[in-house]
Amino acid sequence: MYAKWTFPFPCRSLGRVIILSSLQQAADRCKKTALCCILSPIFESAAECMGNICWSESRPPAVKEIPLTGTTSSYAGTSSKFTGFSQDRSSVEQSFNDSVQSDSVSSSHRLNDNVESLKVFSYNDLKAATRSFRSQSVIGEGGFGVVFKGYVDENTLVPSRPGKGMPVAIKKLKLEGMQGHKEWLAEIHYLGALHHQNLVKLIGFCAEDRNRLLVYEYMIRGSLENHLFQNGRQGPAMPWETRMKIALDAAEGLAFLHGAQKPVIYRDLKASNILLDSQYNAKLSDFGLAKYGPLGDDTHVSTRIMGTYGYAAPEYLATGHLSLKSDIYSFGVVLLELITGLRAADKKRPPGQEKLVDWVKPFLKDKKKVMQIVDARVQTYVSIKEAYKLAQLVNGCLDEFPKSRPTAKHILETLANLHEPVEAV
């Protein structure tokens, strides 16, 4: 008897389900032809093939194709013709619940009431809010899709004319994108449940036919990445005080996630995911890769390796073992970027300097050399004492042994007690 692994995507393989003799064979075929998907502990997400169905059993038969009959399949009310699930909260909840069954997530981790506080938008509403998703409204683009600036009424959330209502950020899923529907569901699940001043607020979503969109509060100053690196080290620098404020805000958000009743591993902490409001208050965004932390006596969760080069913890890259301390490593990299004004990875730098951590780490332990890594444009505002304390904190975050890294709470307390204003010379 076949054990069926379901995923909340419609089948896009001409109405066929492929049964293959091994997971590896299925993985290879999936990547080549997009005719099947695997959902198993060793192949967690189906982003590459956008959500067809994979079957497995203890003694699988030879390759076999089975035509799908009927109008619906087993993935939360969607049809095999990809007409999409209906636009309501219960369908989104069921879709997430089905997806986590294949993701080694505890049965207690369910969408439940998370979507109740969110606005359900129609596609036409969001089309009107962005003036038909015109190119002039684009404010960002990533693996998930394109982000547009739109306007809605602050009270009713109905579409408004540009400049007449409340600005919002509307993320529209690319159907062939790298992240996909599962990450869209994850954003709704986590941001629908988690509310904090240092997490970007999710206002609502759209799940109409093939359309998958998310609506967030608008962060007027964009990402930390844009401000910290926009002019290189030759242009105007982000003030030191602002950098430390952003570090403290990011630490607040991370400490909240790690200290939740069900601790959450962010998994995608980087400069481009830290967004800034008009007062440079920082908020963590993009929770498509987030996961619940290990349960009970477990020290990690095993997952498919995803993330951004330069930020991911080495043990995660080597084994796929993910823990709260993986986030701590990423935070250390971001803090190092704030101190140096340099990107975590840059192929344009000389050999040996491409990866910031490998290049700078020897300076972190030497009090006499630590000022050499501080962004020269702000050095006059930083004392040697403060720079060295920061270097020690970064070095702890980047420790090769995850257990030796500090907790998010410790980082927060250290940063809160660290800064000593220095008069510019």
- State the catalytic residues: 268
Instruction: Report which residue type is found at 166.
Output: M
**H or E segment at 64?**
strand 64-67
Query: Do residues 374 and 388 make contact, with C-beta atoms less than 8 angstroms apart?
Result: no
Q: Which residues contact 149 (CB under 8 A, 6 or more apart)?
A: 130, 137, 138, 139, 167, 168, 169, 170, 218
Overall residue count recorded for the chain in this entry = 425
Closest C-alpha to 118, from 221, 207, 210: 207
**Cα 157–chain centre separation:** 26
- Going by C-alpha positions, the residue among 334, 323, 319, 229 that lies closest to residue 273 is 334
Residue type, 370: V
Give yes or no for a contact between 152 and 158, defined as CB atoms under 8 angstroms apart: yes
* Cβ neighbour number for residue 174 with a 10 Å cutoff: 16
- DSSP conformation letters of 300-318: -EE----S-TTTS-HHHHH
Q: Is 166 helix (H, G, I), strand (E, B) or coil?
A: strand
CB 105 within 8 A of CB 179: no
Phi, psi of 376 (to 5 degrees): -60, -25
Token pair 């990875």: residue = 345
Using the structure block, give the residue that is written with the tokens 């076949």: 2
Q: Phi/psi at 23 (nearest 5 deg)? A: -65, -40
Give Cα 73 to chain centroid, integer Å: 29
| Residue in the block written with tokens 């089905």 | 98
283 is in an annotated binding site: no
Binding residues: 172
Question: Binding site for ATP: which residues?
Answer: 172
